[in-house]
């Protein structure tokens, strides 16, 4: 297996990725019963040597729902009929997940509603209230 490039600054060496194979559902016809084409790719955040502590914490926080109890990220790939294409698919998905988690989040700028939007909102509320008032039964104040 060759190194996996995540972004311009991070490349995972092959020793940090573990691939295993299994029989899978999906396309393949009779071949599916004979050949193990499904790829299970594992990457351990906790034991990674190339990740610094800051990156490790950032990834652990961003990918928390996807991590196992031992801190591993597991990718299952069985879209294709061949093991090699499934391995490449799993590697690309892993790279995409890690790259997205490492990308800095855009800071939210606080904004205020415009004068026009406030006016429109109040006018809409008044119209709605008027519609509801016309639906009421007439009251008799004699």
What one-character-per-residue DSSP string does 56-89 give? HHHHHHHTGGGB-TTSEEEEEE-SSSSHHHHHHH
Cα separation, 135 vs 11, in Å, equals: 67
CB 116 within 8 A of CB 63: no
**Of 54, 55, 56, 51, the residue nearest 13 (C-alpha):** 51
- The CATH classification number of 4-102 equals 3.30.160.20
Domain limits, the chain = 4-102
CB 40 within 8 A of CB 23: no
- In this prediction, residue 7 carries a pLDDT of 82
CB 36 within 8 A of CB 83: yes
Q: Which residue has the tokens 């093991």?
A: 83
- In this prediction, residue 29 carries a pLDDT of 66
Indicate the pTM of the whole model.
0.68
What tens-digit pLDDT sequence spans the chain (142 residues)? 788 888 878 888 888 888 888 887 666 666 667 778 888 999 988 888 888 888 888 888 888 888 888 888 899 988 888 888 999 999 999 999 988 888 888 899 999 999 999 999 999 999 999 999 999 988 766 5
Cα separation, 12 vs 62, in Å, equals: 18
Q: Which residue has the tokens 């429109």?
A: 120
Q: Sheet containing 72-77: give its strands across.
A: 17-22, 38-44, 72-77
Cα separation, 89 vs 73, in Å, equals: 15
């Amino acid at each position: 297996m060759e190194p996996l490039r995540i972004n311009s600054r991070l490349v995972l060496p092959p020793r940090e990725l573990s691939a295993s194979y299994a029989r899978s559902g999906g396309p393949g016809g009779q071949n599916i019963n004979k050949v193990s084409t499904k790829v299970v790719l594992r990457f351990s955040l906790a034991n990674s040597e190339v990740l610094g502590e800051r990156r490790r914490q950032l990834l652990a926080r961003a990918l928390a729902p996807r991590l196992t109890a031992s801190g591993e990220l597991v990718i299952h790939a069985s879209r294709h009929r061949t093991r090699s294409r499934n391995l490449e698919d799993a590697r690309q998905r892993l790279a995409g997940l890690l790259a997205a988690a490492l990308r800095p989040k855009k800071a939210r700028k606080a904004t205020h509603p415009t004068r026009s939007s406030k006016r429109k909102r109040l006018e809409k509320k008044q119209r709605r209230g008027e519609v509801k008032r016309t639906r009421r039964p007439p009251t008799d104040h004699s």
